[in-house]
Structures are given as structure tokens and as C-alpha cells.
């Protein structure tokens, strides 16, 4: 979400989504509130600090780790305040292990992606940190059924060997798909069987790999789908995977009418030959990606538009 006021952001999301509020991230506050720094602050026995080149793993917690944890605590305080007595789904999110490995640097300045042992350690640390974080949210909002979202915008680049080295002249080799799947499975298991959604706003999201790793849902930018994704999408739906379809732009611009926003979803459903009655069970409508780059007014409009578009889809699935 845009802005830096945790209470205002939580007030907005809890007011917009009566049935599915979420814990906002406010990266405009600076390092430690950004998605990499926020998730680095959740790590157990691994710490990161800000260097001119980005976030780098260090030996001990410093001011950047403390700042990240302080802001997360502030956000949780606001969430607790505005969810008194709430019972229902509540989404929290963190960066997934592979986007974190692509973004965090080792002491030599190279990405953690360059070292398989570092990737394993990072995933184990993240899994433990997520367990503690989820326990804390449950303590503060005891009536909530937590949905964990793992943000993996770099996953496709990791699988394709497209993440650049520190020099910028080469790329890291493509990660082994079985290792990627096993690592994701370990982090997904941190939720103890609760639903986990993996989000990527990059093209060619690996739906099948994410399903095998245990993701209950996949969140993606609907505009990036092509007809070659039809079989994969169809298999995912038939396998029980929920689709979080990003149909509302994440930055300021004109919004179509709610029915227009879901026209593509209806068209996809017809093309796949799926029963219209499955739509509301299988699809959740979302912004295409985060709203941090939007104006506060547009962010509020986008969230409200998602609700109206979902009602339009439910009222007229065909």
C-alpha cells in the first residue's frame, strides 16, 4: 500500500475487504519497510543490512534489522486494533525463498543464489521466521484463519537463469527445478497445513511447479496470460488450485466498469470449457500487483473496485 501511516493503511484494507482483510506493507517508509528488508527482518539467526548495492547478509542484527522489526511491530499493532473480534480469512505475506535468494547478497557481494548451501540456509531461516510471525498474528487476531502469501516475482528468472551476477556481465545458472520445488515445499510447510498462495506478477508463472510444492493458490497478473497457458490453468483449477487473478491495474489510471474488469476471466472460463458455477469457488480478484506505486486515493478505489468486480462475477458468471 502507498504512504507511511500503518493505522490508515490497516483501516483502509479492513474497511474495503470485510471478508478478506490483509496486513499491509508500506515500503514508502524506507529500507526495512520494503518487501526484501521486511522479510529479511523475519529471518532467524540470519541478519541483513543495507549496503549501497542492496541488502547484504551479515553476522549480527544491526539498525536495519531493528528498524524492519520495529515497523512490522507497528503494523501488527494497527492490525490488532482494527480487527478486534474479527473471525474469518486474514492474509499476511512475505517474500518467498527464491526471490529473497536472488535479492540478498552474500559477504562477497554476490547474490545468495550463487551458493546452494546459502539458499538452503536462507529457506530454513525463513521457514522458522514465518512460523514465529504466524504465531504472533494468531495471538493478536485469535479468530483469524490465516492465509500466507509468498511473493516470488523473481522465480521465473531464477528458473531460467536470468538473474544477473554482481558484475552485471553474466547471469547465475538456472536453478534446478526439483531443488526449487523442494525449497518452496519446505517454506510452505511453515504454515502447518494452512493455505499458502504464491504471488508473481512476472510472465510465465510456473503453475504446475507451485501446485506440486503445495501452494493452495497462485496469484498472478491476468493481463500477462496467453492462450498457451490455457492447459496449465485448466489443470490447476481441476486440481483444486485457487486462482488469484490480478485484473485491476496497480498504478493510477482509469478503471473500467466492474463487468469489464472480469470479461477476460469469463472468456478464459468459456475457452477452457469449465463450469461457470466454479468461478466463485476457484477465482479471487485482486490488483495485478502491489499498490505501493499508486496514490492513496487510487489504492482505495482499486480495492473497492475488486469487491464490485467480484460481485459482478458472482452475480453473472456467464
Give the chain's end-to-end CA distance (angstroms, integer): 32
Positive/negative CA dihedral, 255, 1, 246, 138: negative
Q: pLDDT, tens digit, for every residue of 135-152?
A: 999 999 999 999 999 999
List Cβ<8 Å contacts ≥24 apart for 226-234.
Answer: 227/271, 230/268, 230/271, 230/272, 232/207, 232/208, 233/207, 233/268, 233/272, 234/272, 234/274
pLDDT tier at 280, thresholds 50, 70, 90: confident
Of the candidates 212, 265, 200, 270, which has an alpha carbon nearest to the alpha carbon of residue 241? Answer: 212
Residue range 60-69: mean pLDDT, rounded: 94
Report d(CA 304, CA 253) in Å as an integer.
15
Q: What 3-state class would DSSP assign to 252?
A: coil
- CB 90, CB 22: distance < 8 Å: yes
DSSP 8-state secondary structure symbol assigned to residue 173:
P
pLDDT tier at 318, thresholds 50, 70, 90: confident
Report d(CA 13, CA 24) in Å as an integer.
8
Residue range 121-134: mean pLDDT, rounded: 98
Asked if residue 61 is part of any domain, the answer here is no
* pLDDT recorded at residue 136: 98
Q: What 3-state class would DSSP assign to 225?
A: coil
* pLDDT recorded at residue 317: 79
Asked if residue 311 is part of any domain, the answer here is yes
Asked if residue 133 is part of any domain, the answer here is no
Number of structural domains the chain divides into: 1
Residue listed under C-alpha cell 499491509: 24
Q: Cβ contacts of residue 273 below 8 Å, gap of 6+?
A: none
Asked if residue 268 is part of any domain, the answer here is yes
The H or E element spanning position 23 is none
Evaluate if residue 256 carries a pLDDT over 90.
Answer: no
Beta pairing class for 88-95 and 217-221: unpaired
Residue range 46-53: mean pLDDT, rounded: 94
* pLDDT recorded at residue 22: 96
CA distances 122 to 1, 5, 100, 116, 255, Å, are: 26, 30, 8, 10, 40
Asked if residue 250 is part of any domain, the answer here is yes
CA distances 36 to 23, 77, 115, 131, 300, Å, are: 16, 21, 19, 18, 24
Asked if residue 293 is part of any domain, the answer here is yes
Q: What 3-state class would DSSP assign to 113?
A: helix
Asked if residue 40 is part of any domain, the answer here is no
Report d(CA 68, CA 78) in Å as an integer.
16
Report d(CA 39, CA 288) in Å as an integer.
21
**Which grid cell sits at 1?**
500500500
Average pLDDT, the chain: 95
Using CA atoms of 29, 32, 36, 39 in order, give the dihedral in degrees to the nearest 10.
-120
CA distances 236 to 118, 152, 193, 233, 301, Å, are: 31, 18, 19, 5, 30
Evaluate if residue 123 carries a pLDDT over 80.
Answer: yes
Share of the chain above pLDDT 70, in %: 100
Q: Which stretches within 189-291 are classed as H helix?
A: 207-213, 230-238, 258-261, 263-272, 279-282
Domain housing 269 = 216-317
- CB 138, CB 132: distance < 8 Å: no
Q: pLDDT, tens digit, for every residue of 170-219?
A: 999 999 999 999 999 999 999 999 999 999 999 999 999 999 999 999 99
pLDDT tier at 303, thresholds 50, 70, 90: very high
Amino acid at each position: 500500500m502507498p504512504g507511511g501511516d500503518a493505522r490508515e493503511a490497516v483501516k483502509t484494507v479492513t474497511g474495503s475487504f470485510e471478508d478478506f482483510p490483509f496486513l499491509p506493507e508500506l515500503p514508502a517508509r524506507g529500507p526495512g519497510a520494503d518487501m526484501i528488508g521486511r522479510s529479511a527482518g523475519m529471518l532467524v539467526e540470519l541478519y541483513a543490512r543495507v549496503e549501497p548495492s542492496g541488502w547484504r547478509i551479515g553476522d549480527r542484527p544491526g539498525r536495519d534489522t531493528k528498524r524492519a522489526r520495529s515497523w512490522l511491530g507497528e503494523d501488527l499493532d494497527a492490525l490488532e486494533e482494527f480487527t478486534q473480534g474479527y473471525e474469518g480469512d486474514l492474509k499476511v505475506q512475505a517474500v518467498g525463498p527464491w526471490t529473497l535468494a536472488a535479492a540478498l547478497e552474500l559477504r562477497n557481494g554476490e547474490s545468495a543464489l550463487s551458493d546452494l548451501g546459502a539458499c538452503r540456509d536462507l529457506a530454513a531461516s525463513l521457514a522458522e521466521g514465518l512460523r514465529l510471525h504466524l504465531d504472533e498474528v494468531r495471538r493478536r487476531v485469535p479468530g483469524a484463519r490465516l492465509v500466507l502469501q509468498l511473493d516470488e516475482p523473481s522465480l521465473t528468472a531464477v528458473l531460467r537463469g536470468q538473474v544477473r551476477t554482481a558484475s552485471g556481465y553474466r547471469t547465475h545458472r538456472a536453478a534446478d527445478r526439483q531443488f526449487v520445488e523442494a525449497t518452496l515445499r519446505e517454506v510452505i510447510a511453515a504454515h502447518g497445513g494452512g493455505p499458502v498462495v504464491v504471488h508473481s506478477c512476472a510472465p510465465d508463472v510456473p503453475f504446475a511447479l507451485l501446485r506440486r510444492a503445495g501452494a493452495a493458490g497462485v496469484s498472478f497478473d491476468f493481463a500477462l496470460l496467453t492462450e498457451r497457458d490455457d492447459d496449465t490453468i485448466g489443470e490447476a483449477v481441476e486440481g483444486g488450485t485457487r486462482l488469484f487473478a490480478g485484473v485491476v491495474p496497480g498504478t493510477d489510471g482509469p478503471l473500467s466498469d466492474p463487468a469489464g474488469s472480469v470479461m477476460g476471466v469469463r472468456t478464459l472460463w468459456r475457452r477452457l470449457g469449465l463450469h461457470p458455477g466454479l468461478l466463485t469457488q476457484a477465482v479471487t480478484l485482486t490488483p495485478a500487483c502491489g499498490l505501493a506505486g499508486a496514490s492513496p486515493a487510487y489504492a482505495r478505489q482499486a480495492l473497492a473496485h475488486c469487491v464490485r468486480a467480484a460481485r459482478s462475477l458472482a452475480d453473472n458468471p456467464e
